[in-house]
């Protein structure tokens, strides 16, 4: 006899349980089904491929099991959560008389607030909280408690897949600042901090259209941690170090936006390497670190490790005085003074994995995507996928983004693995940001969880990373997947595809975007090989596996590499849509794995995924900038050209005139100068790595602004013939007076 099993059992309302059986034709009777703790079944309804049980009211503070034919399965709360919504202000708030604490924990049996005068030691107060009908627990205390710390101890239903552990104190998910201990569990207490006492000195957000952006993607610590930065140890890698050392350099590049890799408080430390912890064996990360920051633990507060004089020394506490709050505000204010917008890379698709993440201990089944057995899904590849479609999860994301815009004057956000965020939340973010400030930039990394959605993000009026541009111009991988700048085309692409990328990769031309305003063109990001190493491997200088003995000689660009670098940069900066360059791209940064005490067998070779290395592998080397200063100057001139001549960022596709040439790797495009521009502009490209080409010029006297050697804004070389010779692997920019 075939045994019918319960495949799925979910609580859809306080009186409804939906069951999916392994046999869709199974027709159980009330007497066949047992629910424990004992729950009366009033009625059974047969649906197309499942069964709905109408029951007496359930108690969500209990864990229920269904048993049928000897088979037992835990019943998971699901649709029932849609009924829990609250507009109450969450977190710690105050008025002139009292301090109020609120936290949303819908299934808790009890929540205890512990208040500490010091970040260590015993609590000064333990206050039982009370619960309202929408699952919000609250407590109020007379007076103010600025400088105190607090956390919650939550007791709730337990099962084989869930443990409400009241022995673990967790911080408030709405924490404005936290103090954490250096351990992979990342234990935290919330610091009660009045953020109103800060002098913004008239600072305002910067309004920049997406297609006008020149973004510098960087890791805040990397920009001043290297000894070549000249920063003293107590400032190296800090918020203040960024202002003093990195900001002048970034300003000199001519970019108008900085996109920080995650700076929301994250779990810096991973579980120990080489032996199991809680059933997991770290066999992949000998550094035991999450350097890039894609393991967010507290979303409302800046990372405390970047505050002055902080370290990850075992046993040290970070963020005890909340200085990270004002120090990051100083960073924003300093960038704004230079006309540079601030974009934050935010991670709402998953949370930190191995630490005492507050959401795990508040309500795992509410906040996370789980399988039918109640175990975490990890379609993000990073564990703990966040269930953005829950009403209070969505509200949390909206509250968080609003907070950063209002309290930190943030100009925009890049959303990590944004395809994992549900579309109602995506639209709610767009609507809310428009109400606050229509100029706030929203950029999606438009994939994740097995989805690829750049077209759909554009339809929802979001910008997105343009990987078609990246792969078409540079290639998909440097070993056997290079493209145009190396003299070939990746996966059957053609000259027509390069034209489409330059036009803004528009959907009406077979691309991705409704408008160039939704397009962020880039050649490399923090992920995978950076552009410098991609080119070193792609052109045959390196295999990526050999030991690098001389870092200076390795980073020094050969003539061939420099030509490829300039060709790539020229295409990037003269294409329609926003521009992003990644930290060190402008000087050909090479990520050679630095010497370390970590048991890494790859030390001395090229790294393509350096997420775990807080060392010279990632840090910006200012000596190497000087070695490749010619490329740096080329980037600076391109940024200047794009800033001062609107045609390189605001030309409609129909206004671009394409120059025909029989060679598949040779093309040119004429951009009419804007109303205030005295010149028309011509860009000529030869992607062939072997052949030069003769290109016929449009009529008029053309001056050379940039060739395969350098820029020369004044005086100009005037071309007196009808044709120009384009050497292999070269890019040219010419101008013609309108007068």
Report the share of the chain in percent with pLDDT over 90: 91
pLDDT in tens, 506-535: 999 999 999 999 999 999 999 999 999 999
Average pLDDT (275-298) is: 94
Average pLDDT (262-269) is: 97
Cis bond before residue 715 (omega within 30° of 0): yes
Return the pLDDT at 3.
Answer: 66
Average pLDDT (373-399) is: 95
Q: Which long-range contacts (CB under 8 A, 24 or more apart) does 656-660 make?
A: 656/502, 656/503, 657/698, 658/499, 659/684, 659/695, 659/696, 659/698
Average pLDDT (350-367) is: 94
Return the pLDDT at 91.
Answer: 98
Query: Could you give the strand order of the β-sheet that contains 702-706, starting from the edge strand earlier in sequence?
Result: 657-659, 666-671, 679-686, 730-737, 702-706, 717-719
**Residue 581 in 3-state DSSP?**
strand
Return the pLDDT at 441.
Answer: 98
Average pLDDT (379-405) is: 96
User: In this structure, what is the dihedral angle of CA atoms 402, 404, 409, 414, given to the nearest 10 degrees?
Assistant: -90
Q: Point out which residues pair with 706 in neighbouring strands.
A: 711, 733
pLDDT in tens, 226-263: 999 999 999 999 999 999 999 999 999 999 999 999 99
Are β-strands 463-466 and 475-477 bridged in parallel, bridged antiparallel, or unpaired?
A: unpaired
Return the pLDDT at 1.
Answer: 40
Can you tell me the distance from the alpha carbon of 312 to that of 317, in angstroms, rounded to the nearest whole number?
A: 9
Q: Token digits for 194?
A: 């009045």
Report the sign of the C-alpha dihedral through residues 321, 325, 326, 328, in that order: positive
pLDDT in tens, 18-71: 999 988 888 889 999 999 999 999 999 988 889 999 999 999 999 999 999 888
Concatenated DSSP letters for 234-254? TTTTSHHHIIIIIHHHHHHHT
pLDDT in tens, 542-597: 999 999 999 999 999 999 999 999 999 999 999 999 999 999 999 999 999 999 99
pLDDT in tens, 627-644: 999 999 999 999 999 999
Angle separating helix axes 559-573 and 531-538, nearest 10 degrees: 130
Report the sign of the C-alpha dihedral through residues 357, 362, 363, 367, in that order: negative
Can you tell me the distance from the alpha carbon of 205 to that of 408, in angstroms, rounded to the nearest whole number?
A: 9
Determine if residue 388 is left, alpha or beta; phi over 0 gives left, psi from -120 to 50 gives alpha, anything else beta.
alpha
Average pLDDT (377-395) is: 95
Can you tell me the distance from the alpha carbon of 18 to that of 16, in angstroms, rounded to the nearest whole number?
A: 7
Per-chain mean pLDDT for the chain: 96
DSSP 8-state assignment for residue 675: T
HSE of 48, CA atoms in CB hemisphere, 13 A = 0
Are β-strands 717-719 and 6-13 bridged in parallel, bridged antiparallel, or unpaired?
A: unpaired
Average pLDDT (163-173) is: 90
Give phi and psi for 473, each to the nearest 5.
-85, -45
Alpha helix (H) ranges present in 477-524? Answer: 495-503
Owner of token pair 């959605």 = 453
Number of residues in the chain = 739
pLDDT at residue 196 is higher than 50: yes
Return the pLDDT at 2.
Answer: 59
pLDDT in tens, 636-669: 999 999 999 999 999 999 999 999 899 999 999 9
Of 152, 89, 219, 117, residue with least CA distance to 615: 219
- How big is the chain by its Cα radius of gyration, in Å? 29
**Residue 552 in 3-state DSSP?**
helix
Can you tell me the distance from the alpha carbon of 344 to that of 338, in angstroms, rounded to the nearest whole number?
A: 18
Return the pLDDT at 109.
Answer: 96
DSSP 8-state assignment for residue 507: G
Owner of token pair 């975007």 = 513
Can you tell me the distance from the alpha carbon of 139 to that of 112, in angstroms, rounded to the nearest whole number?
A: 9
Return the pLDDT at 230.
Answer: 97
Angle separating helix axes 559-573 and 495-503, nearest 10 degrees: 50
Longest dimension (CA), the chain: 96
Alpha helix (H) ranges present in 574-713? Answer: 622-627, 629-644
Of 65, 69, 1, 77, residue with least CA distance to 29: 69
Using alpha carbons, list the distances in angstroms from residue 527 to 57, 140, 261, 486, 524: 50, 46, 11, 21, 8
DSSP 8-state assignment for residue 409: -
Return the pLDDT at 47.
Answer: 87
Return the pLDDT at 356.
Answer: 93
Greater model confidence, 5 or 4? 5
pLDDT band at 720 (very low <50, low <70, confident <90, very high): confident
Tell me the domains of the chain and their CATH numbers.
6-82 (2.60.40.1130), 84-191 (2.60.40.10), 652-737 (2.60.40.1180)
pLDDT at residue 163 is higher than 80: no
Sequence-separated (6 or more) residues with CB below 8 Å from residue 719: 697, 701, 702, 703, 704, 734
Note whether 680 and 646 are within 8 A (CB). Answer: no
């Amino acid at each position: 006899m075939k045994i019918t099993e319960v495949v799925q059992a979910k609580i859809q309302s306080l009186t409804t349980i939906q069951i999916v059986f392994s046999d869709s034709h199974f027709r159980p009777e009330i007497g066949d089904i047992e629910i424990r703790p004992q729950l009366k079944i009033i009625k059974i309804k047969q649906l197309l491929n499942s069964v709905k049980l109408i029951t007496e009211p359930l108690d969500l503070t209990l864990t229920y099991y269904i048993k049928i034919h000897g088979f037992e399965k835990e019943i998971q709360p699901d649709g029932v959560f849609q009924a829990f919504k609250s507009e109450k202000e969450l977190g710690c708030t105050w008025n002139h008389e009292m301090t109020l604490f609120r936290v949303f924990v819908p299934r808790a049996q009890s929540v205890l607030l512990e208040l500490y005068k010091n970040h260590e030691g015993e609590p000064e107060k333990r206050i039982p909280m009370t619960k309202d009908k929408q699952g919000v627990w609250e407590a109020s205390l007379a007076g103010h408690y600025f400088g105190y710390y607090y956390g919650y101890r939550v007791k709730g239903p337990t099962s084989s897949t869930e443990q409400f552990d009241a022995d673990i104190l967790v911080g408030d998910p709405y924490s404005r600042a936290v103090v954490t201990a250096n351990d992979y569990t990342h234990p935290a207490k919330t610091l009660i901090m009045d953020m109103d006492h800060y002098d913004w000195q008239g600072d305002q957000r910067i309004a920049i259209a997406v297609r006008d952006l020149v973004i510098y993607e960087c890791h805040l610590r990397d920009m001043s941690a290297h000894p070549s930065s000249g920063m003293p140890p107590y400032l190296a890698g800090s918020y203040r170090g960024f202002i003093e050392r990195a900001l002048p350099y970034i300003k000199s590049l001519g970019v108008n936006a900085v996109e920080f890799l995650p700076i929301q408080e994250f779990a810096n430390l991973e579980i120990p390497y080489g032996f199991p912890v809680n059933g997991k064996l770290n066999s992949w990360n000998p550094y035991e670190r999450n350097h890039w920051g894609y393991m967010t633990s507290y979303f409302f507060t800046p990372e405390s490790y970047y505050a002055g004089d902080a370290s990850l020394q075992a046993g040290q506490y970070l963020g005890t005085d909340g200085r990270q709050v004002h120090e990051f505000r100083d960073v924003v204010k300093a960038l704004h003074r230079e006309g540079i917008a601030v974009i934050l890379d935010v991670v709402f698709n998953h949370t930190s994995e191995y630490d005492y993440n507050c959401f795990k201990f508040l309500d795992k089944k509410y906040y996370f995507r789980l399988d039918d057995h109640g175990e975490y899904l990890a379609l993000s590849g990073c564990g703990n996928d966040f269930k953005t479609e829950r009403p209070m999860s969505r509200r949390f994301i909206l509250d968080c983004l609003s907070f950063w815009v209002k309290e930190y004057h943030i100009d925009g956000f890049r959303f990590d693995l944004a395809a994992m965020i549900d579309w109602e939340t995506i639209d709610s973010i767009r609507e809310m940001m428009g109400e606050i400030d229509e100029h706030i930039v929203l950029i999606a990394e438009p994939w994740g969880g097995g989805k690829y959605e750049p077209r759909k993000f554009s339809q929802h009026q979001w910008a997105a990373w343009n990987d078609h541009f990246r792969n078409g111009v540079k290639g998909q991988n440097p070993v056997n997947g290079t493209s145009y700048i190396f003299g070939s085309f990746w996966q059957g692409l053609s000259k027509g595809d390069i034209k489409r990328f330059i036009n803004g990769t528009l959907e009406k031309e077979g691309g991705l975007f409704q408008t160039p305003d939704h397009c962020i063109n880039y050649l490399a990001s923090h992920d995978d090989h950076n552009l410098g190493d991609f080119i070193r491997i792609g052109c045959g200088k390196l295999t990526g596996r050999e030991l690098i003995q001389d870092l200076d000689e390795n980073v020094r660009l050969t003539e061939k590499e420099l030509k490829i670098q300039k060709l790539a940069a020229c295409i990037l900066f003269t294409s329609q849509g926003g521009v992003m360059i990644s930290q060190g791209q402008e000087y050909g940064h090479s990520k050679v794995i630095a010497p370390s005490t970590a048991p890494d067998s790859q030390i001395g070779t090229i790294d393509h995924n350096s997420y775990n290395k807080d060392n010279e592998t990632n840090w910006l080397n200012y000596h190497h900038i000087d070695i490749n200063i010619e490329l740096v100057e080329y980037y600076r001139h391109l940024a200047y050209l794009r800033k001062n001549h609107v045609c390189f960022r605001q030309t409609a596709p129909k206004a671009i005139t394409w120059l025909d040439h029989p060679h598949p790797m040779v093309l040119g495009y004429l951009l009419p100068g804007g109303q205030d521009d005295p010149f028309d502009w011509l860009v000529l490209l030869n992607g062939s790595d072997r052949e030069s080409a003769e290109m016929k010029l449009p009529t008029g006297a053309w001056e050379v602004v940039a060739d395969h050697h350098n820029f020369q804004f004044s005086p100009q070389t005037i071309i007196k013939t009808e044709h120009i010779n384009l050497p292999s692997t070269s890019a040219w920019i010419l101008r013609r007076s309108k007068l």
